[in-house]
Amino acid sequence: MAEITAAVDEQGANKLLDAAIAAIGTQVKSGSGSLGPFVANYTISGTLTNGDVDLIPPSTIRIVDLRLDWQIDFSFGIDLSDILPDFCLPQVCIDIPCVGEVCTPKICIDWPTISVPISFGDFLKTTADFEVVASLVGGDWIVSIKILGVPNLQFGATTAALLAAIGLAVTPILLAIPFLGPFLAIAVNAILAAIGIAGLTGFLGPIITPFVSGLTFQIYKQPKNFEVLPAAGAFDPAVDITIDALAAVVANSGEDELILTADVSP
Amino acid sequence: MYDEFDSRALRRTDCFGQRFMKAGTYRYGVFPANGQHLSLERPFAIKVDEARPGQRMKQHTVTLSVVKGGFKPDKPEITIEAGDMVVWNCPEKAMTPYAVVGDKEFFASSRLVNECGYSHAFGLPGDYHWVDAFGGPVQGVVRVRDPGVKTKDDLEKWRQTLAQGTVVMIDDQQAKPREIEIFVGQTVFFAVTKSAGLSITDERLLETRK
């Protein structure tokens, strides 16, 4: 039989998880990924905020509206000659008074490769189920909650906004390229069509999902051996106990509670 | 990116033209812009024969390519008749700004003297105030307008305007017309009839270098 039992209700669990999730802080990752046909190098930061905790016996902690605020800075290169038609200035002939006709040769323009930097942030909310896990790591008992499965993250509105942001970012870059102005609409549409909603989802999904999938929060840590009473004199030594076993469950005893039970020995 | 407009530093969409009025051999070299003093070598030549009576001016185009150590004309030596014009252009992507510089005072793209010209196709909209970088009084403005292409038809109409060039006649004192308006992509030919030596240089380039 358990010798120590501790329980928290949903309100308490909410506070516990508020602190545990806040302790994770802002996480930053860098890498590269496919943005449609382009390769984008990115740096992304993500910060989680607790939602509403729902304790579901026998072992599930559900967080409703777990929020992830994310900010991504990425850049990708576009070889404009891949998307724009070849362009040549035609031969231009002019009549110079008292001299005669002079013609320039036909001159073809090579479209350059451009780099488009984008800075974009948004948030998403998801509902995720976690399990409670107690384990002995080194000399410490650790109670964590660990996400079950990979939640489905919805990027619907985000992708539309990000596509618009890419359009806004690419426009001034294109306008600065000689002779490209008249092809601007063609170029922007071609770039956005090449990326598409699918390209953005395919880019964001693998980058953002890891902030949530595999999530583990530590909610309690206790040394296996610890002092419960300090020494009070030469003939009254400190009293130490050992936690031999620790278990965590979700149970209903009138209301849903997260219960920790510990078996101890001197 | 910036549409640099300076006859002293020829670029891909620029041409330099020079008429040769007297018979003789005119040697020249092609150098990186401002680099003509690095070498006294003038490895290429224009041989000018006497003009046949009643002969009209003919144009000879020389295409430059970029090679290790500089530029190379497709015809290192050409023979023309007095009064003919030679036009140089380097269409290569890898080109750096350059100057065509001859062994005679009148023959240099870096300093336009007489019976010569410089053409530039304007790639970006804006007002280009040009001056003589050598301090002469001649100056002018090229107003380059965005053609406002919105449809495929607009694009086609714009393309058709590209073959229409504009001439600005220049002598020591003035440019005629002093102010012109064109669309993006159109070419202006600045024809210098007589001068002590001038350039056609975007004023902003001089301000940058002050």
B165 → closest Cβ in A92, A100, A180:
A92
Q: What is the pLDDT of residues B56-110, one digit of tens each?
A: 899 999 999 999 878 999 999 999 999 999 999 999 888 899 999 999 999 999 9
Mark yes or no for CB contact B187/A97 under 8 Å: no
Q: List CB contacts (< 8 A) between A95 and chain B.
A: 167
Using the predicted structure, report yes or no on whether residue B1 has a pLDDT greater than 70. no
Instruction: Measure CA B2 to chain center.
Output: 18
A178 → closest Cβ in B3, B87, B169:
B3
Q: Is the Cβ of A86 closer than 8 Å to some Cβ of chain B?
A: no
SS3 A58: coil
Q: Is the Cβ of A113 closer than 8 Å to some Cβ of chain B?
A: no
CA distance B36 to chain A (A): 24
Q: List CB contacts (< 8 A) between A186 and chain B.
A: 155
Tokens of B3: 């549409």
What is the structure's pLDDT at A240? 85
Closest Cα partner for A205 from A70, A77, A75? Answer: A70
Residue of B nearest to A111 (CA): B93
Give residues with Cβ within 8 angstroms of A231, minimum separation 6.
A237, A238
pTM for the model: 0.81
Tokens of B203: 């004023």
CA distance B69 to chain A (A): 23
CA distance B59 to chain A (A): 7
pLDDT string in tens for chain A (266-residue length) = 558 888 889 899 899 888 988 988 999 999 999 998 999 999 999 999 988 999 998 889 999 999 999 999 999 999 999 889 889 999 999 998 888 999 999 999 989 999 999 999 999 888 889 998 889 998 899 988 899 877 777 777 888 899 999 999 999 999 999 999 999 988 999 999 999 988 998 899 889 988 888 788 888 888 888 888 888 887 888 888 898 998 888 988 888 899 989 898 88
Closest Cα partner for A56 from A221, A213, A250? Answer: A250
Give residues with Cβ within 8 angstroms of A178, minimum separation 6.
A109, B1, B3, B13, B123, B124
Beta bridge partner(s), residue A222: A141
Residue of A nearest to B185 (CA): A179
What is the structure's pLDDT at A179? 94
Mark yes or no for CB contact B63/A91 under 8 Å: no
Mark yes or no for CB contact B91/A108 under 8 Å: yes
Mark yes or no for CB contact A96/B117 under 8 Å: yes
Mark yes or no for CB contact B119/A101 under 8 Å: no
CA distance A186 to chain B (A): 9
Interface of A with B in 185-224 (CB under 8 A): 185-186
Tokens of A63: 């967080």
Mark yes or no for CB contact A94/B189 under 8 Å: yes
- Residue located via tokens 């576009």: A78
- Distance, in Å, from the CA atom of B141 to the CA atom of B180, rounded to the nearest integer, reads 6
Q: What is the pLDDT of residues B116-132, one digit of tens each?
A: 999 999 999 999 999 99
Backbone angles phi, psi at B96, to 5 degrees: -115, 160
Mark yes or no for CB contact B119/A110 under 8 Å: no
Q: Which residues of B128-166 are buried (b: 16+ CB within 10 A; e: fewer)?
A: bebbbbbebebbbebebeebebeeeeebeebbeebeebb
Give residues with Cβ within 8 angstroms of B8, minimum separation 6.
B33, B34, B99, B109, B110, B111, B133, B199, B201
Q: Is the Cβ of A91 closer than 8 Å to some Cβ of chain B?
A: yes
Per the CB < 8 A criterion, the answer to whether B172 and B108 are in contact is no
* Residues of B at the A interface, defined by Cβ within 8 angstroms: 1-3, 12-13, 15, 17, 19, 56-57, 59, 61, 63, 85, 87, 89, 91, 93, 115, 117, 119, 121, 123-125, 146-147, 149-150, 154-155, 158, 162-167, 169, 184-187, 189, 191
Q: Is the Cβ of A172 closer than 8 Å to some Cβ of chain B?
A: no
What is the structure's pLDDT at A158? 85
Secondary structure E strands in chain B: 14-19, 24-32, 44-49, 59-67, 70-73, 77-81, 85-89, 98-102, 112-121, 126-131, 139-145, 166-171, 175-176, 179-183, 187-198, 201-202
Looking at this predicted complex, what is its ipTM?
A: 0.91
What is the structure's pLDDT at A91? 97
- Distance, in Å, from the CA atom of B93 to the CA atom of B115, rounded to the nearest integer, reads 29
- Distance, in Å, from the CA atom of A68 to the CA atom of A49, rounded to the nearest integer, reads 6
**Confidence band (pLDDT; 50, 70, 90) for B2?**
low
Q: List CB contacts (< 8 A) between B163 and chain A.
A: 90-93
CA distance A87 to chain B (A): 10
Mean pLDDT of B175-194: 96
Task: Count CB pairs under 8 A between chains A and B.
Answer: 108
Per the CB < 8 A criterion, the answer to whether A186 and B11 are in contact is no
CA distance B188 to chain A (A): 9
